[in-house]
Structure 1
Amino acid sequence: MINDLKSDCKNCFGLCCVALPYGKSSDFPFNKAGGEPCRNLCSNNLCSIHDKLRDKGFRGCVSYECFGAGQHVSQSIYNGKDWREDFEHAEEMFAVFPLVQQLHEMLWYLKQALALKETQSFQSSLQKIYDETFELTVKKPKEILEIDIPSHRSKVNALLIETSRVYRAAMNKKGKKHRIKKDLDYLGANLKGLNLQGEDFRGKLMIATNLSQSDLRRADFIGADLRDADLSGANLTEALFLTQSQINSAIGDIHTKIPSYLDKPSHWCNRNVS
């Protein structure tokens, strides 16, 4: 569906492993400053422990998604010049990358919105803001650094909210046997086996929430924190604004149904299921 907005590490200079800082936590085993290469980054820009990240405590790396910003910054904006070779522009490159990542994430959501028949009435507005967002990603580095990301995001967000409303409306009109309270604390909540079609989980903290066996079709997951949320046997086939990073951070199994444009993480398939 949107493969051009997926990370391609082979064509990136390991930017997320250098530009972004992280602190010692359940997601990372040690501290790293922004601009400092991760100790696991190899000279060929690949990770020396890529297949063991979860086991080594780098859960944050497993769940990270740049939405194709890494290869775009590396190969297009900086014309294939590695930060190691072009040290003069390394700091600038590290500052540009997270901004482009945010713009690419917006493109991901907008492209999904454009593909929905429910958004036909405002497709022109969606296409216009999509084109404007794309144009921002191809500007010169100094111009990108001057972009007012929050202001642009607010314009994009208005259309994404409308997309969510119309997309979930059909499910909500049917009525559900179970409705959850909008102010519910989802942290560790037990929502197992519920009909949650068309629910709005926008920006919700759903860490360790039990959603196993639940019907989550047409639910909006934009910005939801699904770290360690149990999606075993859940149906998310028509979920809205669900990303690979969210899926990677959650717990699932071979019975979990996800949108066709997402991949099931290897740690799901390796789980023992009854």
Structure 2
Amino acid sequence: MRDHAADLALLRGDCENCFGLCCVALPFAASADFARDKPAGTPCPELGADHRCGIHARLRQRGFTGCTVYDCFGAGQKVSQGTFGGADWRGGPGDRAARMFAVFPVVRHLHELLRYLTEALTLPAARAIHPDLRDALHRTEALTHGTPEELTTLDLPAHRQEVNALLLRTSELARAGRPGPDHRGADLVGARLKGADLRRANLRGACLIAADLTGADLRGADLIGADLRDADLTDADLTGAFFLTQPQVNAARGSGGTRLPGSVTRPPHWTAGR
């Protein structure tokens, strides 16, 4: 029997086995999250010859908060060591770098889907559709092992739509019985939700930037795609919340009293308590 809980831990970036792809392939614009502009395909000036960030321990202080809340879900090491067999983007055939940079975001999207499908298979309430979830997981996993040509020509939107239908059904089953409020895709920027009862709420794609969720009850809520940047989760209870990823948690604020599901860890920059 496959240990899906253990699989979740593997779907995280492993910088030791990656050629710094997120620091090269992806663009970023000067903003509150990034101290400077950087076009796609251009190495970040802070990236060293060893593919390590020269200011990793000081990213927040240097204005690169966006880097601290990013996770490739393991796509970086897959592309570096799997798709390209350990070949660096530096040197080699002239088109190797361009091919790697084109493949990386595709595999990152696929790995994000693997992350959600793997978690869905840990939810007892979704047992009725576990066979369909396993099939989608295996097919998605197989796609990540494709050649660069297969990956760059993949109809990713169609595959995402197919998987999303299963994830929606998973959410319905997990929140059945006494489903909470439906805030799917809601604009809740800066919302005052201190102490709110959001048990089993549908918060898929909700924009909760800078929302006050202090002491809120989010047990069993669906948080897939919710934007939690600068949301205050101090003393909030997210026990049993699902489809919550580490980047979302890293982007929020919290405390020692914040209760999190086992699928994520408490960020080191959170305060010990308030």
TM exceeds 0.5? yes
Report the structure, 1 or 2, having the larger helix content.
Answer: 1
Q: Secondary structure in 1 aligned to 2:62? A: coil
Q: List per-residue Cα deviations over 1:11-62 (Å, max 9, x = no partner).
A: 1000000000011111111110000000111111111111111111111111
For the pair 1:97 / 2:97, whether they are aligned, the reply is: no
Structure 1 residue 123, shift from structure 2 partner? 1.1
One-letter amino acid of the counterpart of residue 253, structure 1: S
Structure 1 residue 161, shift from structure 2 partner? 0.3
For the pair 1:129 / 2:131, whether they are aligned, the reply is: no
Q: 2: CA distance between counterparts of 1:183 and 1:150? A: 19
83-92 or 109-118: which moved more?
Answer: 83-92
Structure 1 residue 77, shift from structure 2 partner? 0.8
Structure 1 residue 118, shift from structure 2 partner? 1.1
Alignment partner of 1:27 out of 26, 29, 33: 33
Instruction: Map 1:68-217; keep pairs closer than 5 Å.
Output: 68-86=74-92, 88=94, 89-172=96-179, 179=181, 185-217=187-219
Cα gap change, 1:184 to 1:78, in 2 (>3 Å) = closer
Q: List per-residue Cα deviations over 1:154-200 (Å, max 9, x = no partner).
A: 0000000000011011342xxx7xx5766853100010111211001
Structure 1 residue 241, shift from structure 2 partner? 0.2
Structure 1 residue 122, shift from structure 2 partner? 1.2
Q: 2: CA distance between counterparts of 1:131 and 1:61? A: 30
RMSD: 1.5
Q: 2: CA distance between counterparts of 1:169 and 1:211? A: 23
Q: 1: CA distance between counterparts of 2:185 and 2:23? A: 36
127-136 or 149-158: which moved more?
Answer: 127-136
Q: 1: CA distance between counterparts of 2:76 and 2:186? A: 37
Alignment partner of 1:259 out of 261, 264, 271: 261
Q: 1: CA distance between counterparts of 2:138 and 2:93? A: 32
91-100 or 184-193: which moved more?
Answer: 184-193
Q: List per-residue Cα deviations over 1:114-145 (Å, max 9, x = no partner).
A: 11111111111111111111110001111111
Q: 1: CA distance between counterparts of 2:90 and 2:71? A: 23
Per the normalisation by structure 1, the TM-score is 0.94
Q: Secondary structure in 2 aligned to 1:234? A: coil
Alignment partner of 1:8 out of 9, 14, 19: 14
64-73 or 254-263: which moved more?
Answer: 254-263
8-17 or 51-60: which moved more?
Answer: 51-60
For the pair 1:227 / 2:229, whether they are aligned, the reply is: yes
Task: Give the total of aligned pairs.
Answer: 267
Alignment partner of 2:62 out of 49, 56, 61: 56
Could you tell me the percent identity over the aligned residues?
47
Q: 1: CA distance between counterparts of 2:237 and 2:199? A: 9
Q: 2: CA distance between counterparts of 1:159 and 1:262? A: 22
202-211 or 78-87: which moved more?
Answer: 78-87
Q: 1: CA distance between counterparts of 2:135 and 2:182? A: 35
Answer whether contact 2:73 2:115 (CA < 8 A) is retained: yes
Structure 2 spans left out of the alignment, 5+ residues: none
Structure 1 residue 263, shift from structure 2 partner? 1.5
Answer whether contact 1:171 1:218 (CA < 8 A) is retained: no
